């Protein structure tokens, strides 16, 4: 069981740190691109301290990545997208109870309770595959 969760070369705590850091960086770049779309030359990207542990949860994908490694990219990416949406909904629901949720998608057309955006599925598909690549090295 230990080898399933820890793998052979990369301890779980390192996976959490890696996933949290990569997630933060992606979010800052993504929000900076939104600044560019608003024609803001400062290109300010932002995130929340809450996002680090949320993105870190992707470290739990590691055993799933190994289990799915022989499956097609569509199956793997679809499962990762579902996992990310599930985690986003749960963590967002918890944070919302304390008025601490850093995102609110209420105004987006394809939102579920303002916590997830279904139109972000292609982005999460790619992010899941990126995490798979990082976790399987």
CA-CA distances (angstroms) from residue 76 to 29, 31, 82, 92? Answer: 25, 26, 10, 24
pLDDT, one tens digit per residue, over 51-103 is 999 999 999 999 999 999 899 999 999 999 999 999 999 999 999 999 999 99
Report whether 19 contacts 55 (CB < 8 A): yes
Q: What percent of the chain has pLDDT over 90?
A: 82
What is the C-alpha separation between 41 and 77, in angstroms, rounded? Answer: 34
pTM for this model (two decimals):
0.87
Residue 9 has what pLDDT? Answer: 62
């Amino acid at each position: 069981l230990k080898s399933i969760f820890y793998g052979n070369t990369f301890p779980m705590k390192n996976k959490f740190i890696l996933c949290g850091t990569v997630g933060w960086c992606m979010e800052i770049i993504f929000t900076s691109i939104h600044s560019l779309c608003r024609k803001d030359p400062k290109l300010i990207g932002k995130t929340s301290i809450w996002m680090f542990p949320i993105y870190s949860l992707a470290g739990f994908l590691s055993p799933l990545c190994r289990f799915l490694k022989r499956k097609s990219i569509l199956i793997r990416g679809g499962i990762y997208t579902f996992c990310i949406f599930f985690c986003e909904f749960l963590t967002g629901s918890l944070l919302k109870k304390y008025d601490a949720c850093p995102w609110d998608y209420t105004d987006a057309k394809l939102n579920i309770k303002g916590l997830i955006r279904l139109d972000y599925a292609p982005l999460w598909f790619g992010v899941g595959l990126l995490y798979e690549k990082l976790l399987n090295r």
